Every structure is written in structure tokens, then in C-alpha cells.
Amino acid sequence: MAKKQKFPYLIGSKWTSQQSTWGWQHFQVVNRKNQGKWIFAEMVASCDPQVKFWLNASQLQDRNLWRAGWIPLAIIKAEAEN
């Protein structure tokens, strides 16, 4: 029986950073890399494809750092004020 893949829908997923990351908050996963027990996601800024970085995919599960989907900045700011 094949081992279940962690983060099977990682590539193509969209994420919003809870704080500005290299000047941007909206990113998409364009690549994944498995290194031993770790899984990494290559993130690209939605508004600037020149901005790329690798991130441990497990960090995407931390809602203090990332939220799934592209959340409007007005909602993020409103939530931060509460």
C-alpha cells in the first residue's frame, strides 16, 4: 500500500501572509520539494513573479503566519484592529 502524500494539493494553492513578506502578502505555491521528512513549498508573490522563496510547508498550517486563499487586505487590517 502506497504511503499517503502530505500536502497533496500544495502546488497551485494560494496563500495570504499575515504580515508583509518581501513587500507582499499574497502568494501562490508553484513548486514543492521533498527532503527527507520535510516538505518545502516554493512561494511566488502574486503581484511580482520576481519575488520567490522556499518555505517549510508545515508553516502554512500556522494561522498566525498564513491563511489559505487570497484574503482582501481590508479584512486582514480589520481583524488586526479587533
Q: How confident is the model at residue 27 (pLDDT cuts 50, 70, 90)?
A: very high
**Residue 80's pLDDT band (cuts 50, 70, 90):** confident
Which of 78, 74, 75, 76 lies closest to 65, judged by CA? 76
pLDDT score at 77: 80
Q: What is the pLDDT of residue 30?
A: 97
The structure's pTM equals: 0.85
Does 82 or 59 have the greater pLDDT score? Answer: 59
Q: Give the E-state strand segments of the chain in sequence order.
A: 14-21, 24-35, 38-45, 52-56, 66-68
What are the residue ranges spanned by the domains of the chain?
14-81
Once rounded to an integer, what is the mean pLDDT over residues 16-26? 93
